[in-house]
Amino acid sequence: MSDCIKTFFDAWLIEEAETRLSKLNSAVTKTIKYDDPRTPGTINGIAALNNYVEMFSINAPGWSAKVIKTDTVAGVTRITVAFGGVGPDGSEQVQLGQYFVEKNGELISRMVGFVGTGE
């Protein structure tokens, strides 16, 4: 797995905005484009992405975003991520998401996410 991908999802655990922004800066290009089912449109740029990732920390405190599987074909990396933590009922919960990533050099330049794994 690419270090930038692990670094990107590690940033989802960071609550402090400047620290999270620093982590994102080491994982994505300045012109990052990001989409997933919870975005109203494409998120453009690191500052907007940092604000979006902050919502995960606020809405799911203590949850992690762990990459559990990757593969790459023709320069596009498919990633399966397990988002997990304690749910509102006090039990451990896991939700899977799948992302498709394009890179520019060693940094993520485009990322598109989906709920579940398409099964």
What residue type is 50 in one-letter code? Answer: N
* Structure tokens, 58: 């606020």
Cα distance between residue 26 and residue 108, in whole Å: 10
Report the DSSP pairing between strands 76-86 and 64-73.
antiparallel
From first to last of its 119 residues, the chain has per-residue pLDDT tens of 469 999 999 999 888 999 999 999 999 999 999 999 989 899 999 999 999 999 887 888 788 899 999 999 999 999 999 999 888 888 999 999 999 999 999 999 999 999 988 87
Report which of 105, 100, 61 is spatially closest to residue 83, judged by C-alpha positions: 61
What residue type is 45 in one-letter code? Answer: G
Q: For residue 86, report the phi and psi dihedrals to the nearest 5 degrees.
A: -80, 125
Domains of the chain: 3-115 (3.10.450.50)
Report field, pTM of the whole predicted structure over 0.95: no
What's the angle, vertex CA 37, arms to CA 104 and CA 67, rounded to 5?
Answer: 55
